[in-house]
Structure 1
Amino acid sequence: MKTRDTLLIVDDMEVNRAILRSLFEHQYNLLEAENGEQALLLLREYEEHVAAMLLDLVMPVKDGYEVMEEMGKSGLVSRIPVIVITSDDTAESEVRAFDLGAADIIMKPFEPHVVKRRVQNAVELCRHKLHLEELVEEQSASLRESNAIMIDVLSSIIEYRSVESGQHIRRIRMFTRILLEDVAKTYQEYNLDGRTIEIIADASSMHDIGKIAIPDSILNKPGPLTREEFEVMKTHTTKGCEMLSGLERMNDKEYIGYAYNICRYHHERWNGKGYPDGLKGDNIPICAQVVAIADCYDALTTDRVYKKALPPEQAFNMILNGECGEFSPRLLECFKNVREDFAALSRAYADGLAPTKKPERKEVRPSSTIDTAGTLEQGQMKYLTLLRYVDSTVMEVDLNTGVYHVVYMPDRDFELLRSGSRFEDSVKAFVQGAVYPEDRDIVLGLLGDYMEEFFSDGLMRRTRKYRVLDQAAGVYYWCYATLLRVDPGNPNQKKVMLIWHRASDEPLEVPHSGRAEEDLFRETVIGRLAGGVIKCRNDKWYTFADNGKGLHGLTGCTEQVIRDKYHNRYKEVIYPADRDLVSQGLVSQMGEGRIAELEYRLVTEDGRLIWVMDRSILVTEEDGMEYIYTLLVDITQSRKAMEGLQESVERHKIILNQTKDVIFEWNVTTDEISYSSNWECKYGYQPIIEGIRRRLPYASHINPDDIPDVMKFTNDMMTGRQLGEVEFRLANAEGRYCWCRVRATAQFDPAGNTDKVIGIIEDIDDEKRETEKLIDRAERDVLTKLYNKRAARHKINRFLELSQGREGSAMLIIDVDNFKMVNDRYGHMFGDAVLTELAARITSHFRDSDIISRIGGDEFMVFMPGTVNHEMVTERAGRLMASLQTMFKNNMKDVPFSCSIGIAYSPEDGSDFQSLFQNSDAALYQAKLEGKNRWMQYRRPAVNAALELKEEADRPEEMRENTEHRGQGTVARVISMTFQELYDAADFDRAMNSILEITGRMFHVSRVYIFENCTDSDDFCTNTFEWCREGITPQRAKLRNVAYTDQGGDYRDNFNEEGVFYCLDIAELRPELQYMLAEQGISSMLQCSITAEGVFKGFVGFDECEAGRIWTQEQIDCLVFLSKMLSTFLLKKRAEDKLRESMQNLEGILNNQNSWIYVIDGETYQLRYINEKTYQIAPETRLGMCCYEAFFKRNEPCEHCPVRECAGKESSILEVYNPVLNVWTLADSSRIRWGDREAFLLACHDISPYKRMEKEGAANR
């Protein structure tokens, strides 16, 4: 049994698969599917490797219920546990899932650790169950073996009243098994598998159990039984059934059922002349039919009290020819196939012998999908139908063994052919009693020279004619006796068929008129056109019947050369290496008809080899001999060209096999794909070859995460791309995902459309694995081996993007309290050891799926995906704090060891990384302020951040770490001034420039500026605001449309999780970036990002140009907060500008329309909007006026108001005449929302000219 080490994860949500993958990737090999169709494909392919399946219920293509239904039909659900993971918690869903075979159900959202434990439990239970089934099967087999021995002994006692004849029961069981195995292979419709065969073979031991009720005087009588005694003997079948019917307490009902049928019906016969019930044909159970043949054969080949044993050959002939009753023709065919096995068992298990070697048992596995018309039975039916049409007597003979079988005999005149124990005896009896005396020597030639010559000359057919006695009329008639060879491919086999056919009144003749003209035509016209025409006997040498006249033009051989050099044999003209192939080809093709077509080489007179195409026809002429007429065509040139092409193909094949890459060709028109032969050698299964675009997304071995890339690649190649490349993971024969790279080139048809795509599939798994190891090493912190900040941020962002707020999560920032004291007192080496142990302790308290990283000197971050239980998060935080307090109690007695933890949750506290990080960091800050050694959850809204900074400034020095107190007045004054200036600003740009100047002078920096993303691309930015101290050169004019990626990398990557880019000395930066900043005269700087919903929108910067500067923590905190405040107002201003611009564009569009457009309140009919055209036609109109008053000078709404016509509808069109303005309009009214009220938009088009023309036309008529 193969190791079940693979989990199949089936879910259409990538984020769910990612969570489950992180749980089990270290314990199991993982396969993934994103729909039910793909899951079933992988299950069928890797059934023996899959330990369990994690199944979602709601999926495209096929849902989870359909998957379990198909698994139930195929029996997979009993061998592979299915753990359903669903959000449907209804009782109906649970009942249905369990009824379909689910091993467990886990509700979403789930706790990953719970899923892990429940999956492990299900896998272990299934493994124990399968192991127990194996043990039970082994014990059952052992028990059956013991039972079989006991049954053998008891059956022998019953049948013979003696233990010494027990070999009979053993032989019957073995005969039954061997014959059943052949029946199972030949006739699959009987549904005989290995288990059924064993049960029937064991049950066959009970076939004669009823003989215990037969008196000894009858059972052991040495002579023939009288009629009365035979009637008593026949009752052993029914007596045995009565005994078996009393065994109702036995649990094995199947075994008893077979034993009952065998006991009762093993003396029934195919023609209905058996006993006790006279069943006929297939009404007799197949188990009883098989045991009947086995019992009959054993009775004939062993000594009994009433007879001596017969030779196996005679026993076979007697059974085959109906001397022991008629058996099923199908079973007789199988009986002939096992003749040698039966004979060998008769010798090995003869009475008195006790062989110790146990016979081998072959496993028989008939196909589950078999077309009955394709079985051997169908072939035999056609064979018998043909015999009925031919209306001839047919006999099969094996001259090596003397076994013969009269297959078909429509005429009783040949009845004597069934007499005799061997073929020779049968022929002699037939000659003596049915052949005309003067013709008897001709018939006896079958036993002498006639048959010897037939085989020595390698003939296939030979016919003689002699007279046979009409038994009814008492006269002789002429009969053709044809001898046919059955197996010419094996020289050691001497199997023939004899066919006797009554001759008609007029003998058949082959026409010979015009032979001279035919020969002339063949030698001249056909010979010149084709190359050569020859006539040969159908013997083993293909002896020339025309002296090889037709070969002269082809080979240059004269008739003299043919006689002297080639002994008048065409086979010797053939190149020696091709002779056997020619013989086999002719026999094979002419076995199906009279025509054959071959290609082979001939030897010319001068020793050259030429290739010829041979087209032959087989003819039987009046002398009873078969002749082959052959047309030969010289194809040497075309064969040489083909061989050159084959050599070229072979060279390319050798090169491809050495590279181990797979070549493919995709026919885009038919959507079919072909692969080089090494696909199956490499991957171990048949690939998808048709319906690529339809089947690839839903039923393939490609990792679901990579399918979008593969589909994009196929679409690109289909839509005109010349070259393409894609990398993806593909499952191999063991169910492991391997990395592949596809490189392809498109071929186009004359119209320029993609016709074919040809490419290569390269194995890059080793390369990818090594790259992944290097990436993993680069993502790890050198000291603690945890993820570093960049790697953790990338993984967390990936999860948040996939979950889109649907999956809860938690972020914890962990900071060691007073760690500076540890380094100062015990040294940095001890401090590193503490950090390493601390990392291990943190890892042990969290799950395998959690992302743990070191983000600073003594700061750690833990991200817990798929977490909705806040109590579980805080409980783990508390356990970690308690664990750390005892970690170094013996080593650091003077320094208390503890940590503070800040916690934020998604999506409540943020759905992007930056928001979560800032909020969890704020919670950590609060935990520090409240005395350390505690955890805090983020609760305060961001608008109170200014007060938090003020509180921090008010706290004494010992309560703050890594900060430098500058006085709370400065901070509060800057915050207040900035907020008030922006809030009250009438001129935003002026206010912004003023704030930049105030900030720059207050913090003594050289330059303060703002960069914003360009309106048409987020990948470029422009310096929009700038203030410079006296003596500093402005840069704003130079820094427009600057690409973020112009400095050898992405400039945005320089900002940390808090959105801050702090550089003490630009000399520490990479050369490209250092050069760019040096051009601006920058020595050190501090920049803060501007973000909107997690998207980078620009940054606020503070430069020091005269000397390097060390920014204090308080300055950084204040400037970061000021930057975020500026960002908020700036983003709000840009959004308002964009909206205002859109409104102006829309109003311009409406004013330029050549229609009167206005908006009416749905209840008051007051005008809410009027375009320029409306003002022109009705200058006195004002907003707030009622439409009927403004346009019609009325005091109430019009009778045919378009607004009324639009009631209950979304829009209406109405022709309206305005007598005040003397115009006809086509009023188009639509229902809209104006603010929070229902309103109607009217567009009125002037149709007065049209109306006047219509009126004038009517007047003229």
Structure 2
Amino acid sequence: MPKRKAKILIVDDAQINRIILCELLRDQYQILEAEDGKKALEIMKEDKMIDLVLLDIVMPNMDGYQVLEKMKEQRYLEYLPVIIISSEGNTTSMEKAYELGATDYIRRPFESYIINRRIKNTLMLYEKQKKLVHLVEQQIQKRVNNNTTLINVLGHIVEFRNGESGLHIQHIQTITKMLLLQLGKKSHEYKLSDADILLISTASSLHDIGKISIDEKILNKPGRLTKDEFEIVKQHSSIGAEMLKTVPNYNNNDLLEYAYQICRWHHERYDGHGYPDGLVGDQIPISAQVVSIADVYDALTSERCYKKAYSHEQAMKMIVDGQCGVFNPLLLECLCDISEEMKASLFENENYADQAVVSKMTDELVIKQFRSEMPKEKNNESQNRKFFQEMTFEYDAFKDAVYISSQAAKDLGIDEIIYHPKNHEFSFFNKSTIKLLKDKLKETTHLNPEVDLKIYAHIGKQKQWYHLQASTRWNGSVYKGFVGKLVKDNNIQVIHNIQENISLKYTYTEIKDFIESLKDIFTVVRLIDFQKHQSAKAENDQIEIIEGNCYDYWKRKDVCVNCISKQAYIKKGQAFKLEFVDYNIYAIIAQYVEVDERPWVLELVYKTKEDIILGAHGKTRFLENIVTYNKEYYTDVLTGAYSRRYYEEYVQYINDVSAVAMIDADNFKAINDQYGHNAGDQAIKAVSKAIQSCIRPDDIFIRYGGDEFVLIFQDIHYDAFTTRLYQISECVKQTKVDDYEDLSLSTTVGGIYGNSKVNDAIKKADKLMYEGKKSKCSVVVKKTSEVD
């Protein structure tokens, strides 16, 4: 692969000086020229691939010292070395240049050997420095990553309980990081390193952790809080801070210290009118000041149970005008500076859907959870195979070119350099693959440059699964391209074969061989007879029953509540889930099979190698987080409720629920006929919103079909259930539809109470709903024992 020439910018108002340097350096380097300081800064802004600046001091309009000051202000000097070349040879000039950030100082006249040697030394020094910085950043990133997963889970628990958008934590982190980066460009007062910025943006996830202790009824109250209720809510900042302070090793952990500052003081205001301590000005830590603005902005632009979302422009005006309290004037300037970039970034994140994640089943999440930890197959094929196995490559964003390793290019019969790859016929670097990579690369930064995904593509003569690992290249915070490695992934291929091509019928010999091929990948491979709760193995020329029950492996005393083998058996297909035992997480794939015409379920279990320390409450929330992660796939687009798909794939297998309600929007057909389908859509949305305002975050709300909804309560008393259904009925009646003020809404509700299977309960609730329609009774509630 040809090595890229370093690029040097020569800045001098004297043309003769520029000509001399150009002639001297042209053969070894790429050369850019600027006749004054202002033009030089414009070039630096446009071209992020510059490796070195040769700068004169005495120039009109903007001298060399002023250029250095601007470069320091814009943080160019963090990654771009500057050598001063000037006839000014006095000590004062040299000292001032070094103080402003110059790397070296060369006096005119100079010898060609000297300037060549010092340029080479400077470039070599900065290249080594970049590698060292990169290594340090990687270590910082790894250390922070050890905490990030748990922190985000905890943050999302609060979101889920508080009824907030699943994007709230992500938005807070994004805005916090952008504000801190802009603050660093605008002022050096707070002396924030890249490591500090990373820690603060990560810690921002815990800003509302104290809300765990606040009553859900108050947190999710649709109307205005009373004075007493608001005082209770205000306690969350000090409660959360105390929770964090009691964590072991708090005093030796920078991340926890930032989290404490943010949690306790993110509701303080610059003029002293915040809470809990009434701090003024910079008594408030800068971490808390920044998160405070981020939190207010996202609260304004997000819909809540008590208000509609404001537009970006409205929210900016309200914050800058002081309608949400007084903030640090410098931070408000930073907010205005990043306004458009922030708006675009949040919009992209909100609408981003990674196709490798939003897939047919939660199996994608299972694979992602453990694919990187899977051991390699023992029976590797010969290293002398003739077809493609591995390729390293580099993408240069400036040239829009891909450089491919020599051996891979030779094996595939393609050029080592591919210019404009999205237009190239070679399938891996085609338009769709480039787009997938670009979507992933949007999430990277110079502090977190890694990309890890799987690709299913034709490379050479075969279509296969490949594991792609890439690392983006940066000049400071400026994106330059990426380097990567593409490897045939046999483990993912085996899983893909299980998912897509598995046979349903086997002889004993075939199933035995198949199980043996899977044992090198999975922790446990076994056959399950879910009806007898037995597990079996293929040994000694027959299927042998293993002593004990299949659920003994999970340390249970009784049958699993949500038996995955039962799901696979009923569907005559596949089912997937995560199982928690002690502090271990197990990923499970279950597949219905027939062995010599007898039905079994093939169960594949993989135990993760990492310990994820979650309490019993955290395990439940972690599962809910996984479902939330696939929200787009399981959410009804019109109403925001869960979709019928979610019911079919998950909910119908729940064996024990407290109560179920079937809700039908009255006169829906008449609304469509009289007002049109747009009015019908708006009416269904309004009904859904009214229902959701009356239920708890843990209740399962599904759009069952058309104008019918299902509500599932897993833990509720009879009186509370009855009260909730009447509350829903009344709330719908009081709901108005935008642009159709004369349109009246109502529902008929059938509710069944008593522990039962979901499918059975829905049938009974549906029957009660139709009883209500016949008798013109808006709510009919009965206990299971009262219904045939």
Q: TM-score, normalised on structure 1?
A: 0.22
Greater Rg over alpha carbons, structure: 1
Does 1 or 2 have the higher relative contact order (CA < 8 Å, sep 6+)?
2
Q: TM-score, normalised on structure 2?
A: 0.33
